Amino acid sequence: MSLLGKIDKARIPEHITIIMDGNGRWAKARGLERVEGHKQGITALREVVEAASKVSVKYLTVYAFSTENWDRPSEEVDALMELIVYAVAKETPSLIENGVRVASIGDLSRLPVKTRQSLQDCMDKTAPGNGLTLVLALSYSSRWELTEAARAIARDVKNGLLSQESITEKQLSRYLTTYTLPDPDLLIRTGGEKRISNFLLWQLAYSELYFTDTFWPDFGEEELYAAIFDYQQRERRFGKTSEQVKSK
């Protein structure tokens, strides 16, 4: 029986973010090249996007490639960049059909021209979508993002566009790449590791964390529902007491 029937449709997390980990280990366990794990990971992402749309998740942000990933063997990086071009082009018609809007965060200037062009084409074509917003974190890391925000704030203070006294948490958030997105309600990490790995450090301050041993290529619709069901069993207090939350 599907877990879909157990999920409270009135308490679906608005924004889910996923660290898609375990592609390489999934491939290694099967005697395959690492890139085969990444290929299978695309199939998993397609299924998760469809499942998230089915339960009316509004935002899904996936950690596709970190700034640290540039230090991986060049053969794997090159294969990943080519795979991104292929996957984005292949999936664009389906995304349009299902009303999924694609956005991206990260230092996209580091991506190969072909990869950037393919991604931009997909974002342009899916822009009218009014369903799920799929955010691809590419060449992204939270420390990079916060460093860039600090530089931008310093420039604006120097140029008289911003005063030191006006810098608040809300103001700082406007300098982040995610300023148009709500903070994530739920972070899912696959692959058995239990760390955040330099991902959305500011935005995840009060997110619920869900870790699973399932490698990303094996993560699908039911696994997403299991994470949402687990999320719905928790009490989100945001620093308040349980009594205050229940009273509200």
Residues paired with 60 in a beta bridge: 16, 134
Per-residue pLDDT tens over the stretch 30-39: 999 998 999 9
Residue 235: predicted pLDDT? 75
Percent of the chain with pLDDT over 90: 87
Strands 15-19 and 186-189: parallel
Residue 2: predicted pLDDT? 84
Residue 243: predicted pLDDT? 63
Residue 128 maps to a domain = yes
- In the chain, the amino acid numbered 98 is N
- Flag whether pLDDT at 75 surpasses 90: no
- Is 21 designated active site? yes
Residue 116 maps to a domain = yes
| Helices H / strands E in the chain, number of each | 8, 6
Between the CA atoms of 138, 144, 150 and 154, what dihedral angle is there, to the nearest 10 degrees?
Answer: -90
Residue 193 maps to a domain = yes
Element (H, E) at 218: none
Residue 188 maps to a domain = yes
- Flag whether pLDDT at 247 surpasses 90: no
Looking up residue 104, the CATH number of its domain turns out to be 3.40.1180.10
Buried b (16+ CB within 10 A) or exposed e, 8-31: eeeebbebbbbbbbbbbbbbeeee
Q: Mean pLDDT in the chain?
A: 93
Per-residue pLDDT tens over the stretch 195-210: 999 999 999 999 999 9
Catalytic option among 69, 98, 156, 183: 69
User: Mean pLDDT throughout 93-102?
Assistant: 95
The two structure tokens encoding residue 184: 């994530």
- Flag whether pLDDT at 214 surpasses 80: yes
Residue 92 maps to a domain = yes
Rounded to an integer, what distance in angstroms lies between the CA atom of residue 188 and that of residue 212?
Answer: 8
Rounded to an integer, what distance in angstroms lies between the CA atom of residue 53 and that of residue 68?
Answer: 30
Those residues with Cβ within 8 angstroms of residue 125's Cβ, 6 or more apart along the chain or in another chain: 92, 96
- Flag whether pLDDT at 244 surpasses 60: no
Residue 238: predicted pLDDT? 61
Residue 221: predicted pLDDT? 96
27 near 203, Cβ under 8 Å?
no
Provide the whole-model pTM.
0.93
Residue 150 maps to a domain = no
**Residue range of the domain that includes 118:** 12-141+182-237
197 near 172, Cβ under 8 Å?
no
Per-residue pLDDT tens over the stretch 215-239: 999 999 999 999 999 999 987 666 6
Phi and psi, residue 233, nearest 5°: -85, -5
Per-residue pLDDT tens over the stretch 116-174: 999 999 999 999 999 999 999 999 999 999 999 999 999 999 999 999 899 999 999 99
The string of DSSP letters for 107-154 reads -GGGS-HHHHHHHHHHHHHHTT--SPEEEEEEEE-HHHHHHHHHHHHH
Residue 116: predicted pLDDT? 94
Residue 171 maps to a domain = no
Q: How many domains does the chain have?
A: 1
- Is 124 designated active site? no
Residue 153 maps to a domain = no
Sheet containing 15-19: order of strands: 101-105, 133-140, 59-66, 15-19, 186-189, 208-211
Per-residue pLDDT tens over the stretch 6-31: 999 999 999 999 999 999 999 999 99
